[in-house]
Amino acid sequence: MNNKPKIGVYVCHCGINIAKTVDVEAVSEFASRLPNVKVARNYSYMCSDPGQLLIREDIKNEGLNRVVVASCSPRMHEMTFRKTLAETGLNPYYLEMANIREHCSWVHEDREEATEKAKKLVFSAVAKARLLEPLYENEVEVEPATLVIGGGIAGIQAALDIADAGFKVYLVEKTPSVGGRMSQLDKTFPTLDCSACILTPKMVDVASHPNIELLAYSEVEEISGYVGNFEVKVRKKARYVDVNKCTGCGVCSEECRLAGRIPSEFNAGMGNRAAIYLPFPQAVPAKYTIDPERCLMLTRGKCGKGPKCEAACAAGAIDFNQKDEIVECKVGAIIVATGFDVFDAAKKPEYGYNDYDNVITALELERLVSASGPTGGNIVLGKGEDAFVPQEVAFISCVGSRDKSVGNEYCSRVCCMYTAKLAHLVKEKLPEANVRVYYMDVRAFGKGFEEFYDRVRREGVRYIRGNPSEIFKRGDKLVIKAEDTLRSTPIEDEVDLVVLAVGLEPRRDARQIIDLLRLSQSADRFYLEAHPKLAPVNTATDGVFLAGCSQGPKDIPDTVAQAKGAASSALVLLSSGKVKIGAQISFVNEATCRGCGYCVEICPYGAIELVTVNRMGNMVQVARVNEALCKGCGACSAGCLSGSIQQKSFMDRQILPQIAVLGGVK
């Protein structure tokens, strides 16, 4: 092929987005006089079918072998025009784009200056287009299995969908049981479904599905590899109970010397458990676990005259010598569904959460109203002789949400509705109680939400517009200091129980998964999706998807929908069986590489390693790029001290002339 550059330049009007500020006629006229440019045109929408047809016709009729499109950001339409080239048989990497919209017309007002800048950008693109080389994409096989991290409703749903489609799933859950936050809830808004009733069948399905390997009480320890071919190491923590023998009868727990003396995580500290425990009655797997940080045998090596659990277990399942196990698996896709933690109310000391027993969080009330909770669903505060039923109940919304003073500017999206639900449940259980909700805005945006909010108000729950500032105690009563903003009246409201509608925060150990998978965080510290609108379940790492609250606060319907989205994205990968690897990746000139390893340190994707090669009889170290891992960011190339590592399409000899044009230097 005669590779003397014959370039076509296409200047897009983008309706008036570009044409209003840039004289597109002048730009194409300027381009037509640039060296190697065979044809230059301008058109209203280059991305439209007729626009693309212009390019295809010119390639055919004018014999073009390079194309420059001056339009929007390459993020928008680079793929569109690469396909246009490919359809004519031209290598799609003979395309160069000049961004005269985001980088020019949208950010400038002066038409004359904007036009001059657009010309420069086009000139620079032409300068590079001359030097482009054809590139070819590779494909790799995809391991037909998925790792799902997190066994809450998001992880459960994603696992079930993928498994039902016929692919293997490894579902890793950190705690002894799947179920997550949803299992802690009593009812769900706005339908008042019993949370456990709709969740437990799914939990059971997960455990019994032939395609799902459930790794409960386990943590992912190491992930290497790349899209389609991840290698995973999971630490299966010792339960000190042989799950094959344990029948889940629970006698061990009753016998445990610490029974009723350890705060139960599942009950949000409102109830207690033993050192050997099942987190909740419907736990899956229904196997007991010994808490290694509390068990007397495991912490002190001694438990009275001998561990009572061991003596009580008829199945002989207790095994104090059990060790952690490492499970290795290979997967093509990974779904992160690690959920959330609730805001730590102690960070707002003005509400006295640490000082007063009767200031509780919504999650704590959730356990109190739940039939499976420590009080059997009765709203009783205090213990023994001090036990009493609250008469005056107040909810405070937006605790730890929409609040710069604690660093959480976002709305947690579920608190308004769970508050309405809990207020309804309190009213239902204590019809004589006076229930009020202090709010600054009520956000009832979901299906059936506004109707539910209406219902709860009509049941007699009072909504007072004003976010309380302070809580202190006067006698037996808690005093809420607030302003009724609708009446412009400061008030001191005396109540028996204050429920803080705490917001949702990223998991306190969110860092762990970030380090494993190189995920990014958005400003709110939740995991960052690849695009907020068009790729909401993808991450910047190919083959890694997000589901549920790890990406941002969500209610159950949204979580399930996103989990299904993540599952479907993973299935696209798995069912195609192959994945394309980008062509604009780095490569090493092994003849000049000095093996200093600087690029290995720089690479954010761990795509470069040092290997030993035989260079004319000498064994030397050189860098080598794993093409499947390289994302083409170019950091290595910019950092390389000897210019030995280069990125295809962005080689020094391609981009230096491009930069020279911009700087006005020939």
Binding site for another protein (CB under 8 A): 349-350, 352, 398, 402-405, 440-441, 465-474, 481-485, 488, 490-492
**Are the C-beta atoms of 550 and 527 separated by less than 8 Å?**
yes
Q: Which is nearer to another protein, 287 or 413 (CB)?
A: 413
| Dihedral (CA of 34, 37, 43, 49) sign | negative
CA distance 551 to 280: 27
The nearest distance, CB 459 to another protein, in angstroms, is 25
Residue 425 or 437 having the CB closest to another protein: 437
- Please confirm whether the linkage preceding 285 is cis (ω < 30° from 0): yes
Give the nearest distance from C-beta 473 to another protein in angstroms: 5
Contact 228, 140 (CB under 8 A): yes
Closest approach of another protein to the CB of residue 400, in Å:
10
- Closer by beta carbon to another protein, 347 or else 594: 347
Q: Which is nearer to another protein, 50 or 349 (CB)?
A: 349
| Closer to another protein by Cβ: residue 341 or 403 | 403
Sequence-distant (≥ 6) Cβ neighbours of residue 3 within 8 angstroms = 65
Minimum separation from the CB atom of position 60 to another protein (A): 58
- Minimum Å gap between C-beta 120 and another protein is 38
Nearer Cβ to another protein (273/443): 443
Radius of gyration of the chain (CA): 31
**Residues near 629 by Cβ (< 8 Å), separated by ≥ 6?**
225, 226, 605, 606, 607
Write down the least CB distance from residue 415 to another protein, Å: 14
Alpha-carbon distance values, 67 to 71, 81, 129, 191, 538 (Å): 12, 9, 7, 57, 31
Q: Are strands 497-502 and 359-361 parallel, antiparallel or unpaired?
A: parallel
CB 224 within 8 A of CB 609: no
Give 92 or 468: the residue with its C-beta nearer to another protein.
468
Residue 251 CB, nearest approach to another protein (Å) = 46
Q: Which C-beta is closer to another protein: that of 59 or that of 416?
A: 416
Dihedral (Cα; 191, 148, 75, 514), 10-degree rounding: 110
Distance, CA of 351 to CA of 471 (rounded, Å): 5
What H or E segment, with its residue span, contains residue 139?
A: strand 138-141
In angstroms, the Cα distances linking 277 to 178, 254, 256, 269 are 15, 9, 9, 15
In the complex, least distance from residue 351 CB atom to another protein, rounded to whole angstroms:
9
The span from the CA of 400 to the CA of 343, in Å, is 6
Nearer to another protein, 485 or 521 (CB): 485
* C-alpha to C-alpha distances, 529 to 76, 116, 181, 541, 547, nearest whole angstrom: 17, 37, 22, 10, 10
Contact by Cβ (8 Å): 219, 234: yes
In the complex, minimum distance from the CB of residue 524 to another protein, in angstroms, rounded to a whole number: 15
CB-neighbour burial class of residue 153 (10 A; exposed 0-12, middle 13-18, buried 19+): buried
Q: How many CA atoms lie within 13 A of 235 on its CB side?
A: 10
| Distance separating alpha carbons of residues 559 and 562, to the nearest angstrom | 5
Closest distance to another protein from the beta carbon of 471 (Å): 8
In the complex, the smallest distance separating the C-beta of residue 483 from another protein, rounded to whole angstroms, is 4
In contact, 214 and 152? CB cutoff 8 Å:
no
Name which of 444 and 537 has its Cβ closer to another protein: 444
C-beta closer to another protein: residue 102 or 524: 524
Rank residues 66 and 443 by Cβ distance to another protein and give the closer one: 443
Closest to 400 measured CA to CA, from 341, 462, 464: 341
Q: Is 537 helix (H, G, I), strand (E, B) or coil?
A: coil
Question: How many of the other CB atoms lie within 10 Å of CB of 235?
Answer: 17
Residue 519: CB minimum distance to another protein, A: 28
Q: How far is the CB of 512 from another protein (least distance, A)?
A: 30
**What's the Cα-to-Cα distance from 90 to each of 12, 58, 273, rounded to whole Å?**
21, 12, 69
- Give me the least distance between CB of 495 and another protein, in Å please: 15
Closer residue to another protein, CB minimum distance, 309 or 480: 480
8 A C-beta contact, residue 251 and residue 264: no
Instruction: Give min distance, CB of 568 to another protein, in A.
Output: 38
- CA dihedral sign, ordered 357, 359, 361, 364: positive
* Minimum gap (Å) between residue 553 Cβ and another protein: 17
Whose Cβ is closer to another protein: residue 31's or residue 471's?
Answer: 471
Angle, helices 24-32 vs 111-129, to 10°: value is 30
CA separation for the pair 273, 291 (Å, rounded): 10
Handedness of CA 261, 267, 268, 270 (dihedral sign): negative
| Least gap, CB of 107 to another protein (angstroms) | 25
Residue with smaller CB distance to another protein, 309 or 499: 499
Closest CB to another protein among residues 48, 469: 469
3-state DSSP helix/strand/coil % of the chain, to nearest 5 = 30, 25, 45
- Comparing CB distances to another protein, the nearer of 401 and 658 is 401
